[in-house]
Structure 1
């Protein structure tokens, strides 16, 4: 530690020392800190404090790093070895942080600032994917808050701040309650609705595709399916590749997890529909001649081109409208399949494996919903018990 020197300016004597405080965690440049006090004792005390904090790893040097700079630093570190879709989700989450708090100095950031970010996101931060100026979903806000906490943890490790001001910030209870009501209102199809829809599309070109969606496959898994993943002799389907849209770019990758890579026995109705669909594609190939694109995908347009998840959704919604059934997300169709299996005696482990989940509890908690038929069965059993 440098010696304390006496300095005189404008007739006043003060005490000063200069200490090397290492590289700037954002720019990487070496820095020195100059400390000036009114008395030698104050200088000695401050020098002792800095020496102790540097020895214990708790020293925080003054910095002009902004929240935007911290976000850039964290993104560079957090996205070094992740998939494109994950990288994009991190960037999207932190875009709100930069928009609302980007110019704020990291060392001046407070819990109130983070709460202000949360309130803004819940009320008026939306720019795309809905009406501009409205609030975002609780899930989106939660993801952003989690990423901000991670960035501030990095700031602690790099010596920018002493504590994480986002650690104890929470999403307001009222917002979480309202979100729960909205999610509860978004219920999967009942068994009767599924039957009405399937009867309506039974002669449709995309009948087999709609069956795949109602078998519990994710939209990206349906779009990624190749004919080489199907064994139409034994009646099995292997889920290995997903095909989805990320920020306007088509991304093809392995399934979400090891559990997601799975082989499923095809129900007879789906096997029959897939065989018919393959024959239909062969006829379309002959009719189109050189204009046909042999993509090898199961789900293709009339000229053989592979499709994206938004293409699949639009066509599913068109058929829901013409069938005059309640419009649901394709993910809700997945929920309907897994709920029906769980509510009709299929073992939990089988339901989870069919869904491609490693966590059995997650499947039951998120995807399995009691339907009116299963509740009626429960009522009948109670009637037997109660006499």
Structure 2
């Protein structure tokens, strides 16, 4: 249809000026016609000129009723192509706060103030599960949501649905970042004395060997995924292959009460797939645990579930990572040691290795990392005992 401005006389006798012009194609490729009506011919001509220019330069945005919820659905379909189930669930979960706070708002009406409001809401009262409802989420959670929302709005920008990405320059308040950093500093891994106290206190526990696996820097999902036949070799010097993980994925599409599902898969990266030589105490503890499971199998008879996993209960049923965490925290309480995350037990092991002469390349390979600098930056913690070694060296230098 032509784009000439036409004079229109309404039934009331009022004269208006109208045009119909082709705009950019719709996302599905179909034709998009733009109809505008103005009080004066000059206004109509100016708007027609603007639309033509912006259409030619690719900067014209067709008015749309697309909501944030609908945009996030489109972005998730695009970004989830070929990703693992756990990654897909993480994307979806990270966007839940944005859906709750902004979901029904039209994307073209979003402002930077809206995004800042989302950030403030998440930091103060955005928690919906995994703790006390209505309290603030961590800076890490807010950062993940903000990052995913930026990506979704970038998609809208590329497809011509918005003029700009209003989340691009929104940042988390410095006060929240500083408070989070202080909290992280207060959460330190065990030192050498604490590790030894824990080991001594639990050495007669049924799951002693399992706890030692967490202390040789295996991730909880790697410990839960270990299998006797495929991964563990207790002969000779002994090894354990890290090639299978069992992790929990929160699937919101399932009925309430059954949304936590177990996903079994390989490590995320090539370096994550590794074979670790078992330290002698760990090998001995696993041998005892293997024999104990054989006795439990005989005692339970047909009730025993021969799953083949290393970490199982007395009836052979495999652990999930949440149960492993609860058992570990119970043992820490019984041992009278400071309660830490299982990941911090992993940190303690890597830190001890790095601070006691093990080459950086070995520490990184043991941890299953491809980036040596990441291992040193995130997982290696200088403890007072290691700093004492530095003090001794400086003492030698400064002695006259």
**TM-score, L = length of structure 2:** 0.93
Secondary structure of 1:6's match?
Answer: strand
Q: Structure 2 matches for 1:233-312, cutoff 5 A? A: 233-234=235-236, 235-247=238-250, 248-312=260-324
Q: Which residue of 1 aligns with 2:232?
A: 230
Q: Which residue of 2 aligns with 1:363?
A: 375
Q: Which residue of 2 aligns with 1:43?
A: 44
Q: Which residue of 2 aligns with 1:64?
A: 65
In structure 2, relative to structure 1, the CA distance for the partners of 1:308 and 1:300 (3 Å cut) is same
Q: Which residue of 2 aligns with 1:159?
A: 160
Q: Structure 2 matches for 1:1-387, cutoff 5 A? A: 2-9=3-10, 10-22=12-24, 24-25=26-27, 30-227=31-228, 228-234=230-236, 235-247=238-250, 248-387=260-399
Q: Structure 1 CA distance, aligned partners of 2:396 and 2:35?
A: 83
Structure 2: where are the runs of 5+ without partners? 251-259
Q: Structure 2 CA distance, aligned partners of 1:230 and 1:53?
A: 65
How far apart are residue 182 of structure 1 and its match? 0.6
| 1:8-34 deviation line (CA, Å, top 9, x unaligned) | 234343321112335544x88754211
**TM-score, L = length of structure 1:** 0.96
Q: Structure 2 CA distance, aligned partners of 1:362 and 1:163?
A: 34
Conserved in 1, the CA contact under 8 Å of 2:24 and 2:60? Answer: no
Q: Structure 1 CA distance, aligned partners of 2:331 and 2:9?
A: 85
| 1:112-156 deviation line (CA, Å, top 9, x unaligned) | 000000000000111211111110000000000000000100111
How far apart are residue 319 of structure 1 and its match? 0.8
How far apart are residue 37 of structure 1 and its match? 2.9
Secondary structure of 1:64's match?
Answer: coil
Q: Stretches of 4+ moved more than 6 A in 1? A: none
How far apart are residue 312 of structure 1 and its match? 0.7
Q: Structure 2 CA distance, aligned partners of 1:312 and 1:107?
A: 46
| 1:336-376 deviation line (CA, Å, top 9, x unaligned) | 01110111111111111111111111111111100111011
Q: Structure 2 CA distance, aligned partners of 1:82 and 1:52?
A: 40
Secondary structure of 2:160's match?
Answer: coil
Q: Number of paired residues?
A: 386
Q: Structure 1 CA distance, aligned partners of 2:57 and 2:26?
A: 19
In structure 2, relative to structure 1, the CA distance for the partners of 1:28 and 1:66 (3 Å cut) is farther
Secondary structure of 1:243's match?
Answer: strand
Q: Structure 2 CA distance, aligned partners of 1:308 and 1:216?
A: 18
Structure 1: where are the runs of 5+ without partners? none
Name the Cα RMSD after superposition.
Answer: 1.5
Conserved in 1, the CA contact under 8 Å of 2:64 and 2:161? Answer: yes
Conserved in 1, the CA contact under 8 Å of 2:24 and 2:62? Answer: no
Q: Structure 2 CA distance, aligned partners of 1:68 and 1:290?
A: 50
Q: Structure 1 CA distance, aligned partners of 2:365 and 2:41?
A: 71
Greater displacement, 273-282 / 15-24: 15-24
